[in-house]
Structure 1
Amino acid sequence: MSTQTHPRAATPTWVAGCVDDFVTHLERERDRSEHTIRAYAGDVRACLSWCASDGSRALGEITLHQLRDWLGTLAAGGAARATLSRRSAAVRTFFAWARRTGRVETDPALRLASPKRQRTLPEVLSRESATSVLDIAAVAADDDDPIHLRNRAVLELLYATGIRVSELTGLDVDDADRSRRVVRVLGKGRKERVVPYGVPADEALGEWLERGRPRVVTDSSGPALFLGRRGRRVDPRQVREVVHALLAHVPDAPDVGPHGLRHSAATHLLEGGADLRMVQELLGHSSLATTQIYTHVSLDRLRRSYEQAHPRA
């Protein structure tokens, strides 16, 4: 397998045209998120540009051997298995579309295999660490600073619901039904689900809506639930910074970020006796197999506790 790299060059016109048409197809005909569309566009552009620098002068000249060499080059450069899996999936989707639309006579990616993904157990907070970081956020909010009120509500809602950071930043005010203590979430594939939350999260959310948000809202804020100091909708990067900053004050807590709060919420639910399918529904997983990883986390934590506590472990 070749591991040579190719010099960077301007994207050939045929590559740019193919990618643009593919993006239009995804936007119009496929139920995919904006994030997935951007990722697929970047992956396909990188692949076609590599093949062009390898000698292909048109889409129909690309071969399975080239595609395998491209993935091999990425692997040799240290790309993670998850990255390779996503890129090969993007390329297979692209060439299947190209074959259906007559852009190629045969699909060179039909037998392009994805590398097997190594399944690593997600890192989660202990119940004590989760409680500590929420307490720290609550103490900070006592100064009545609107951003501290927001940060507390953000952390409480992330941990209470297990929603993704992109789902949280996409929430509008009307998506939170405080009378029933649920949020309406637009998840992957634009699938809507309703997720409950508890009293502490409701209290934090109420303080943000009543005392925090009105002090930063502007005419251009729109319906966004969570705002920054200038009145704009918060973005995932801002939320990650908040979570990392607060967790830095918790001794021995892993630096997990917002997705770690999602993992922690799922793990703690299962440890508390929640049904696996209920957790699947709460998290918005399309496959139960994705949710089952948290049963392994719980078992792993149980085994560690057993080994530490039992005299015959």
Structure 2
Amino acid sequence: MEHLRRRGMARPAPVAPRIPTLVEEFDLWMRQHRGSAARTLADYRPLAAAFVASRRGRRWDHLDAKAVRSYVIEECKTLTPARRLVFVRALRMFMRFLVATGRCRSHLDRSVPSMPHWRLATLPRYLDEDVVERLIASRSTTTLTGVRDLAVLLLLARLALRAGEVRGLCLRDIDWARGQLRVVGKLRRPTWLPMPQDVGDAILAYLRMRQRCQHEQVFLCIQAPHRPLGATSVRGICQRAIDELGVKTPGKGAHIFRHSTAATLIRHGATLDDVGRLLRHASRESTAVYAKVAISALSRIAQPWPEAVR
């Protein structure tokens, strides 16, 4: 497109809206002090920018709880329940940034109201074990795209990695001698995980076919320019595999493989602590939702329905 624009054969690239300086500082603060992922910040930036614009240049030290709550209530009128959660999280973090940098009164972040959200109210969405194996087996082992996608799916299915962790995996993160790989997850905490044989074989096969380049990341785009995978690339790999196999699934993103790995382990007798260690959960409460899929264990403690006792 740049070549066509230089020759006057395409329209100029649209000018991206300028991000307020305060939002840029918020972005940097989130990276340095919270270890936030790029995807999270991409969600938060426009929401923070909209809040800054709503102030119309008014001083931040004049901001009060009433103004914050009124803004939240008005904005949430047009948002879906899921989007409301993202909105209040973004605004609450922005308020904490303002408090931490001395721009507004302390504890004003507590004025952001919470949205109703019952963490354990739903079942985790997952794929049956045989569907996961069929998806893995459906990838070609003779084409560069197929070999790359196979390695990605195996990392998701065997080690329950997040999409961002797959994208961020670098050559230096693989210890071939010990059969381990290092994953940098949330809060930028590195963890060494054992590398199953099929995962190691798939990554090695891909690296032998991969384009020669200077990038440190393991997985690259197939089409030139050969750059690291983008924010939605891993989801695209999962969605393509599911669509080509023609199976109906409760979701098509990378995270459904993470849920599927946990559900499979639970059904095979693994404890919640075992699953939590693999998923690298900081809290046991994050793993508790998978207890709902342990059908055999639940059936042993289930009580008969009252009418059936009569």
Which residue does the alignment assign to 2:218? Answer: 225
Give me the whole-angstrom Cα distance separating, in 2, the residues matched to 1:217 and 1:67: 52
Give me the whole-angstrom Cα distance separating, in 2, the residues matched to 1:64 and 1:198: 52
Which residue does the alignment assign to 1:130? Answer: 132
TM-score (norm. length: structure 2): 0.79
What SS is found at the alignment partner of 2:265? helix
Give me the whole-angstrom Cα distance separating, in 2, the residues matched to 1:60 and 1:70: 17
- Which runs of structure 2 are paired with 1:261-272 in the superposition (5 Å)? 261-272=257-268
What SS is found at the alignment partner of 1:104? coil
TM-score (norm. length: structure 1): 0.78
1:195 aligns with 2:196: no
What SS is found at the alignment partner of 1:193? strand
What SS is found at the alignment partner of 1:257? coil
What SS is found at the alignment partner of 2:203? helix
Give the fraction of aligned pairs with identical amino acids, expressed as a percent.
24
Aligned residues: 280
Which residue does the alignment assign to 1:45? Answer: 49
1:243 and 1:257 in contact (8 A); partners too = yes
Runs of 4+ in 1 over 6 A off after TM superposition: 300-303
1:160 and 1:265 in contact (8 A); partners too = yes
Letter in 2 for 1:154: V
Which residue does the alignment assign to 1:16? Answer: 20
Give me the whole-angstrom Cα distance separating, in 1, the residues matched to 2:297 and 2:79: 30
1:51 and 1:66 in contact (8 A); partners too = no
Change in CA separation of 1:192 and 1:71 when aligned onto 2, cut-off 3 Å: same
What SS is found at the alignment partner of 1:110? helix
Which residue does the alignment assign to 1:3? Answer: none
Change in CA separation of 1:253 and 1:24 when aligned onto 2, cut-off 3 Å: closer
Shift of 1:122: 2.6
The partner residue of 1:156 within 154, 157, 166 is: 154
Which residue does the alignment assign to 2:11? Answer: none
**Unaligned residue ranges in structure 2 (runs of 5+):** 1-16, 303-307
Give CA-to-partner distance per residue, 1:248-296, whole Å, 9 cap, x none. 2143344432111111111111211223222222212221111111222
Give me the whole-angstrom Cα distance separating, in 1, the residues matched to 2:180 and 2:165: 14
Q: Which moved more, 1:63-72 or 1:22-31?
A: 22-31
Shift of 1:21: 3.4
The partner residue of 1:170 within 168, 171, 179 is: 168
Which residue does the alignment assign to 1:4? Answer: none
What SS is found at the alignment partner of 2:263? helix
- Which runs of structure 2 are paired with 1:48-59 in the superposition (5 Å)? 48-52=52-56, 57-59=58-60
Give me the whole-angstrom Cα distance separating, in 2, the residues matched to 1:124 and 1:228: 27
Letter in 1 for 2:247: P
Shift of 1:100: 4.3
Give me the whole-angstrom Cα distance separating, in 2, the residues matched to 1:163 and 1:24: 25
Which residue does the alignment assign to 1:61? Answer: 62
Q: Which moved more, 1:33-42 or 1:188-197?
A: 33-42
Shift of 1:193: 0.9
Which residue does the alignment assign to 1:297? Answer: 293
**Unaligned residue ranges in structure 1 (runs of 5+):** 1-10, 307-311
Which residue does the alignment assign to 2:92? Answer: 92
